[in-house]
Amino acid sequence: MDFKADYDRLAEKLTAKGISVDDVKAKLKAQHIETPSWGYGNGGTRFKVFAWEGAARNIYEKIDDAAYIHKLSGIAPSIAIHIPWDKVDDYDGLGEYAKSKGIAIGAVNPNFFQDDQYKLGSLTNPSPAIREEAMGHMIECCEIMGKTGSKLLSLWFADGTNYAGQDSIRERKHRLEQGLMETTKYLPAGSRMLIEYKFFEPAFYHTDLADWGMAYAMALKCGAQAQVLVDTGHHAQGTNIAHIVSFLLDERRLGGFHFNARRYADDDLIVGTNNPYELFEIYSELVQAGDKADDVAYMIDQSHNIEPKLEAMLLSVLNCQTAYARALIVDYKKLADLQLAGDVLGAQQVMVDAFDTDIRPLLMQVRTEKGLDPNPLAAYRADEYVKKVAKERGITISAGSALQ
Ligand code: PSV
Ligand code: MN
C-alpha cells in the first residue's frame, strides 16, 4: 500500500496547526506496551478453555511469543510474569533468556488468588499464619525482581468477603496496610510497587481494594515507591476512567495500566475494540500530563479464549499505538483557547477532529522509519511463525479452568 502521499498530506495539515510531526513521530517510536505472559498460554473462562494450537506451554515459549509481538510491532519490548504460573529454578537465567530474545522481564505479578489457603483472603486473611505465608510469597517475588532485572511489582488481591459480617472490614484494612508497608522493605532499589484495585469479583459483598481511592490511600501510606495501577476492566459501568487517570497523574501516583476492553464486567477483550474513544480519552490525559506521565507502565492484561492468541495480542498493542497517535495530534493549543472562551462544543470538536483523523499513514511512516513492516497484521498473517509454533508445540489439553 502506498501511504507516502497520504502521510505527506497529513504531515502538512499537522504542521499548519503548529504540531511538530517530528516530535509526534519520536514519541510514537518511544512508545512501550508490555504484554502479559498469561496471554500467551491457554486461558479462557470458567466455563471452558478452548485450547489454541501452538499456545505457549511454559515461560520460555511465552517469552518467544512476546519477542515475536515486539518484532512485528516494535513497541512491545517487555513481558509481565505471574508467579507461580511462570515459576522457574533459575531466574537469573530467565532474565538472560528474555534479553537474548530482545526483550526484558517487566512487572512481576505475585499470585494471591489461586491457592487453597487464600479462600478467605491473603494479606487480609483473619489467620496470622496465612498472612505470613502471603508475605513469604511477596518477598519471593521481590527477590525474583532483583534476579530478573524487573523494576515493577504489580499487586492485585482477590481479597474480600461475600456477606455482611463475614469479617471485619476495618480489621482487614489494617492488615492490608501492614502487609503493603512491610512489602516496601523488600522492593529492590529503584523499583516500584503498583497497587491494583477491582470493584468486585471474586468477592461479592466487599473487596478490600475496591477502587482507585482505596489503592491511592494505600499508596500514600507506603511512600513514594507505591503507586496505583488502573486496570480498565475493573470499574463499574459508566465510570470515567480518563478522570481517574488525570487525577492520579497530577498527584504523581499513576504507576501503570492494565489495558483491556469490557462491556459487562472484567471481560478482558481486546483493548481498543469496543472502547476506542475511551482509550483515546485516557491517552489524551497522559499526553497532557507531560513529564508526570514519564514513568507510567503500559501493560496489556488480557487472556483470550476464542481469539487466536498472537494476533489478538498484536492487535491489542497496535490499538494502543493508534490511541496514542490520535492523542498526540490533538490541537491542544486550540483546545486551551476554546476552554478559556467557554466554547463547550468547539472544544469537544477539537477532540473529535483528532480522533476522526486517519492516522494510519503516520503509523506506517513511523514503522517504516523503524525498519518494520508498515502493516504488522498483514505481516503476521503472511508469516510462518504461527504455523511453526503450532507444529512444534501442538495442542496442550487444559482442564476447564479460567486459569492456566
Ligand atoms: C485480576 O482480574 C487481574 O486483572 C489481575 O491483574 C491479575 O493479576 C490478572 O487479572 C491476571 O489474572
Ligand atoms: Mn489486571
Q: Is ligand 1 within 6 A of the CB of residue 258? A: yes
Domains and CATH numbers, the chain: 31-329 (3.20.20.150)
Helix (H) or strand (E) holding 79: strand 78-83
What average pLDDT does the segment 308-336 reach? 98
User: Considering Cα of 301, then 306, then 311, then 316, what sign does the dihedral take?
Assistant: negative
Q: Is the pLDDT assigned to residue 169 strictly greater than 50?
A: yes
DSSP state of 261: B
Ligand 1, atom 10: closest residue by C-alpha: 301
Is ligand 1 within 6 A of the CB of residue 199? no
Enter the C-alpha cell of residue 36.
502479559
Ligand 1: does its nearest atom lie under 6 Å from the Cβ of 65? no
pLDDT for the residue 82: 98
DSSP string, 295-313: T-EEEE----SSS-HHHHH
* Nearest alpha-carbon partner for 318 in 14, 35, 17: 35
Return the pLDDT at 396: 84
- In this predicted structure, the answer to whether residue 401 has a pLDDT above a threshold of 80 is no
46: pLDDT confidence band, cut at 50, 70 and 90?
A: confident
CA of 129 to the centre of ligand 1 (A): 25
CB 266 within 8 A of CB 257: no
Q: Are 80 and 384 in contact (CB under 8 A)?
A: no
- The reply to whether the predicted model has a pTM over 0.85 is yes
Say whether pLDDT at 68 is over 50.
yes
pLDDT of residue 164: 98
| Maximum alpha-carbon separation in the chain | 67
Whole-number Å distance, alpha carbon 358 to ligand 1 midpoint, is 33
**How does pLDDT run across 271-320, given as a tens digit for each residue?**
999 999 999 999 999 999 999 999 999 999 999 999 999 999 999 999 99
Q: Residue 403: is its pLDDT beyond 80?
A: no
Cα(72) to centroid(ligand 2), Å: 24
Q: Does residue 86 line the site of ligand 1, with CB under 6 A?
A: no
Q: Residue 231: CB within 6 Å of ligand 1? A: yes
> What letter represents residue 338's amino acid?
L
Res. 400: pLDDT tops 70: no
Which residues are within 8 A (CB) of 252 and not within 5 positions of it... i.e. 6 or more apart? 227, 292
CA–centroid distance, 182 to ligand 1, in Å, is 22
